[in-house]
Amino acid sequence: MLGAARRRECPRQRELPEVLVTNIEGWAERVGAELAAKAFGVAPRTWRHHAQKQRGELPERPSRATGKPRRPHPAKLTDEEEQEVVDTLCSEEFVDVGVDEVFVTILDDGIYLCSPSTMHRILRDRGLNGQRRQGNPGVPRHPVLVAVFDDERIAIPS
């Protein structure tokens, strides 16, 4: 998915797929990076920024209004506070409980760490969110009996 549909996604999802990166890198050695990127439908500027980001050369974007580097938000949690949130959410007491329920439970105990949305963001940033159940979801199965008429049924061989 490229172009306008890609821009509508959130910034974390704008990473180039690994297969695409591998193909462009392979062809870049032969025909040049710009031409290889264009051939695979990636804007040359996007490819250049991806390469700079991989090398750690992409600078932090300055504020549009002032042109100065962006300051961190004054209410941003420190690394220690974020770690405390993760430790709380991953503790034995709350390992099988949803974020909203954890929030209410610790709030009843008189402890406020952060909002539930911040808890979700911290878990998402660290890759700890998502399906936490064991095993895979069930596989849909076809019916064993089929009704042909009102009174008639036939068995379907498996």
What is the reported pTM? 0.44
Residue 22 domain-assigned (yes or no): yes
Distant-in-sequence, close-in-space partners of 105: CB < 8 Å, separation ≥ 6: 94, 97
Spatial distance between the Cα atoms of 48 and 146, rounded to a whole number of angstroms: 58
Q: What's the whole-number average pLDDT of the chain?
A: 80
The better pLDDT of the pair 133, 114 is held by: 114
The better pLDDT of the pair 146, 65 is held by: 65
The better pLDDT of the pair 70, 79 is held by: 79
Which pLDDT value is given to residue 13?
Answer: 44
The answer to whether the beta carbons of residues 142 and 150 sit under 8 Å apart is no
Structurally, how many domains does the chain consist of?
A: 2
Residue 134 domain-assigned (yes or no): no
What is the dihedral sign for C-alpha 98, 8, 60, 25? Answer: positive
Q: What is the DSSP letter of 94?
A: T
| Same domain assignment for residues 117 and 83 | yes
**Six token digits for residue 114:** 């952060």
Residue 146 domain-assigned (yes or no): no
Residue 73 domain-assigned (yes or no): no
Residue 94 domain-assigned (yes or no): yes
| Same domain assignment for residues 50 and 88 | no
The answer to whether the beta carbons of residues 53 and 43 sit under 8 Å apart is no
Q: Could you tell me the residue range of the domain that residue 15 belongs to?
A: 4-55
The better pLDDT of the pair 135, 95 is held by: 95
Confidence band (pLDDT; 50, 70, 90) for 109? very high
Which pLDDT value is given to residue 19?
Answer: 84
Q: What is the mean predicted confidence (pLDDT) over 125-145?
A: 72
